[in-house]
Structure 1
Amino acid sequence: MDKQQGTPQDPVGDLSPCLTSVMQPYPCSPTTSRKPRADSQIFSQKQLSCWMEALEKECSRTEAHMASLKKRQANLSTTAEMMEQQVRERFEAMRVALEKEQKAVLDSLEQEHRENSSKLTRLLHDWNQHLKLVRKHIGTVRTLQERGSEGQLKQVSPDDFSCRKKQDAAELNIRLNDEKFQKLMKILGKISKDLQVQLQKKSLLLDSTEVMIDRTASHKHIRVTSNGRGFYIWPADDSSSPSHPLQFDQTCCALGSPAISSGQSYWEVNVHCCPSWAVGVAYGSLSRKGQDKRTKLGRNRISWCLEFRDERLSAWHNDRHLVLPTKTAPDKVGVFVNYHKGRIAFYDADTMKMLLDFSTSCTTVFERAHHQFTEPMFPAFRFFKARERHAVPDHMEICELGIERIVLQ
């Protein structure tokens, strides 16, 4: 009996360990196990006070910073409105000045017209009186003819019918002064052209750079004036001036300062007194020794230039060139550099006509339209063979573009 009763109990006894292991809950994941239970989060009052104090300070700091930003935003709007108003006032002043000058010119023309018209009116009155007299005499003579009375005709003196009026030479001068008017139109045309040029140039002038010639980075035959803006080529004895490590020893080039490594820069060069020249920009790593392509502007990858030579204007980079369709060379060359956008543009500074823009010139001549500058750039200039037996040496000059000079002009 014990054996029978024990028989069914053995399997249960054998399975209980298995059932017990199956019914146990799954082990917690590492993430879950790291989270402390809510009932176990017990903080001291000191900790809570510290946290509250830190949060309140952060709240106050945030509120103060937001208030500062709002104030700056309000000031920004106020400043923008003031600037816009000043711009309107400046253009309004220009408009008023133009209208005033226009009125003065028109009044002068109207006054001249009235004076000449009055003179012609008086002349017409005189000639009208003369015409009446002539017609009266015609009537008298016709009456005498009809009567056919020789006695009455003899009583009339021939001098009574001698009423020829002489034309005054001053009549020919009664006219509008066309010569003066043509001069006026030429002057107004020049003023209008200059104004258009200045308006086109105004954005570039905001980035004007005071370029000076670096004597230590110029060929020893290049002489620089005391103000550092004018420079000319003048052959001299090689022993007359010591050489400098940064000087060009054979290619007659000169570099200017300051270096351009950010932002935008604009300067102008007067090349009127130089029959052949090259103006541009170059990296400071441009080779200075020898006479190969590494030392010549536009004949390598690290220099760009506008060149006038053999009566031909061309743009050069990486020893490739593009001949520009212009009949005459500019007297002043404007150079604009936008370092971050990799842009170099050349202008005729007198007319503000763009001669070439290296960043947008999509031609097969140059490898790419956009250049990414990787080194500081310097204004660069080159003289070609100097004219022999010439009293005035070939020279160039950096133009002064300061605001004070603009106001004086």
Structure 2
Amino acid sequence: MSADYGLCDLAVVSLRDTEQEEEDPGLRGSQKEHNNNSRSRSSVEGSPLSDTLSEGPWINVSPSLYSNGSVAGASPAADSGSPAEVKLCPAHQSELDRYCNTEQRPVCSLCETLGSCQGHTVTQLTERATTVRNKLVDICETMQLQALRIERFIQHTLTAKEKAVQAEASSARERVVAQVNAVREALEEEEQRLLEAVHREEERVEQCLLTQRAHWSQALNTLSNARTSLVHTLTHSTDTMLVNSNQEISDRIEEAEGVGEPKDTEQLNLNRDCSDSKLMLGLWASALLLGPSGRAPAHLHFDQRSVSPLLSLSPDGRTLTFLPKRQRQSPPYDPERFDSWPNAVCSNPITSGQHSWALDVGTSGAFKVGVCYASMQRKGTGNDARLGYNAKSWVLSHYDGDFSFCHNGRNISVAVVKRPSKVAMLLDWSMQTLLFYDPDTMSILHTVRQAFTEPVLPTCAVADQSVTIVH
């Protein structure tokens, strides 16, 4: 409780005074009178604990606890009427009837006037004991109130919390089941729709193939008959007959010329768009990026050898910054370096699997992010070294406030609701899919279906401010 009580010579408190009074009626009158006198001297009269402890559910304290500066039942004098044992000062052999607050120990009057406690704060031992008793009363009362609060907390708060948690958990389970069922139903419906679309497209192509097969079989038969007729005329006709066969020969030649040349057309190929679905694409990307075994971002850095002289690379290899003319330098020649366009590539080629990475584009007004073949041209000002303007690069471009997808010189406008501060990419080699998305909102910006035939490298171009690879 407190160090103040550590050296006090307190006797053991008996909690059974009430029972003793009931068992021995002869002591009841004298004990009550003795207790009344003790209560007036101990200054606890009217204390809240006098009612609380006597009526509380967990402890029964009798006023006889505070009697004549000692505790009832604590010494033989309390139950046998014999004089209480008097403790003497070891230095002066006098009664220890005072308390030194400085040294926190009982002392005698000579210790105060002649001994080691001269000048110290000394009070009567009975006053000190009364102070300690009053403090103990307050502490016991506080403990009982705390016990009541704990009991109330257990009975009311924890019970209510348990019921609330059970109800909330039940509601959460219902939400999970409802969400999964909604996704499952939508997925099953979309699956059925896409399978039917693929089946219709397959039937269309097969019908076209049958038509083409019948047409060209007839054409082949026509061509074969015309040729056979002409060969027969050539080998079995006399000069006079051959000269007189001009019309027949012309007819056969006209038939052969009408056959034409066979060629493959788009109508004979399955339209891959028949299996495209925003729902399926979103679920696929979400499963890869947000699922329990989602793709962790690749730890990429730009290849210092590839960085254009128009750019500077941060020491950690992750930030490209466009340089004004006065800050540009001429680095030594390197076959891997882009020497004319503000480009750079990463050092990790991708040849299989699933990969995702993101770039912080900040407020840059001109940048390109995407992938390119490792064999892309690095030198010169031509389109072969310009990202998005050749067959070896696929990039999302931002310039003059507009977004577009660029490949082989073709630009496809990309609509965005809000300009993203980051642009991320997800490349699935086996699915032949490159996806650009906003990692902050998980919204898809553009999707590319491409069967890559060479190792690809993450790439970037910066013509304003900076772009940083983020992990």
- TM-score range with shorter-chain normalisation? 0.3 to 0.5
The structure with higher relative contact order (CA 8 Å, sep 6+) is 1
TM-score with structure 2 length normalisation? 0.38
Structure of larger gyration radius: 2
